[in-house]
A and B are shown apart, each in its own frame.
Chain A
Amino acid sequence: DVKVTQSSRYLVKRTGEKVFLECVQDMDHENMFWYRQDPGLGLRLIYFSYDVKMKEKGDIPEGYSVSREKKERFSLILESASTNQTSMYLCASSLLTGGIYEQYFGPGTRLTVT
């Protein structure tokens, strides 16, 4: 079974803090993704990575950065947290080649910025 894990289920941070969200997958997937999910807005892609040290902006990258130093790990960084970044953050991974392209999600991190 594919396993995607995220470092925290719940996180409370103060405005202006630097926040790190970690994601690890154990299936050797090339692709990794960070989304945020808000009521009424659905899933929105922040960044994705298709290889180590490679990253591409998604639909809403402002205020975020990412790091992928190892294939299995993809980190999302909020440089200076703001209240409008309070959300559910979901990490996902998928294969890039091989014919099985389903995306697998971690359990999510519910971040509250006060």
Chain B
Amino acid sequence: RKEVEQDPGPFNVPEGATVAFNCTYSNSASQSFFWYRQDCRKEPKLLMSVYSSGNEDGRFTAQLNRASQYISLLIRDSKLSDSATYLCVALGGNFNKFYFGSGTKLNVKP
């Protein structure tokens, strides 16, 4: 079983839609969680960290449920420029092993 599991998609949504991605992690000792965004043929870039209380950055909201070992990302009012692959990441308890999901592909259509 993979350490971090994500629905690969693709999610095809119209501009302005709200879309949610989910991810589960298997290691209960994981300390920190992140969402990364990766554009085609580019490196992953940090989108946001995920905090226990949930956090918001503009149109993006991340939630963490430690009891269910579940992380989510909500994107409101989708833009064409949001089209990318979104990677869910868990950091292991020793702070130097990152576990990446395979990514969820988002296509925002006009």
Q: Point out residues on A near B: beta carbons under 8 Å.
A: 30-31, 33, 40-43, 45, 48, 50, 88, 90, 92, 94, 96-97, 101-108, 110
Contact = CB atoms under 8 A, between A and B. Distances in A.
Nearest to A102: B46
B99 to A, nearest CB: 9
Interface stretch (B21-29, B52-60, B69-77, B89-97): B89-97
B43 A106 contact: yes
A102 B49 contact: yes
B96 A97 contact: no
Nearest to B45: A105
A48 B102 CA distance: 20
A101 B43 contact: no
A34 B15 CA distance: 36
A47 B91 CA distance: 16
B42 interface: yes
Nearest to B4: A42
Contacts of A30: 96
Q: Interface extent on B, as a size class?
A: 20 to 34
Given A31-B96, A94-B96, A110-B41, 16 more contacts: A30-B96, A40-B102, A42-B100, A43-B87, A43-B100, A45-B98, A102-B34, A102-B46, A102-B49, A103-B46, A104-B46, A105-B43, A105-B45, A107-B42, A107-B43, A108-B42
A50 B96 contact: yes
Contact of A96 (B43, B87, B96, B102): B96
A43 B103 CA distance: 9
Contacts of B45: 105
Interface centre among A42, A50, A92, A96 (most CB of B within 10 A): A42
Nearest to A41: B102
A88 B44 CA distance: 12
Contacts of B41: 88, 110
A72 B32 CA distance: 24
B46 A96 contact: no
B25 to A, nearest CB: 14
A102 B90 CA distance: 10
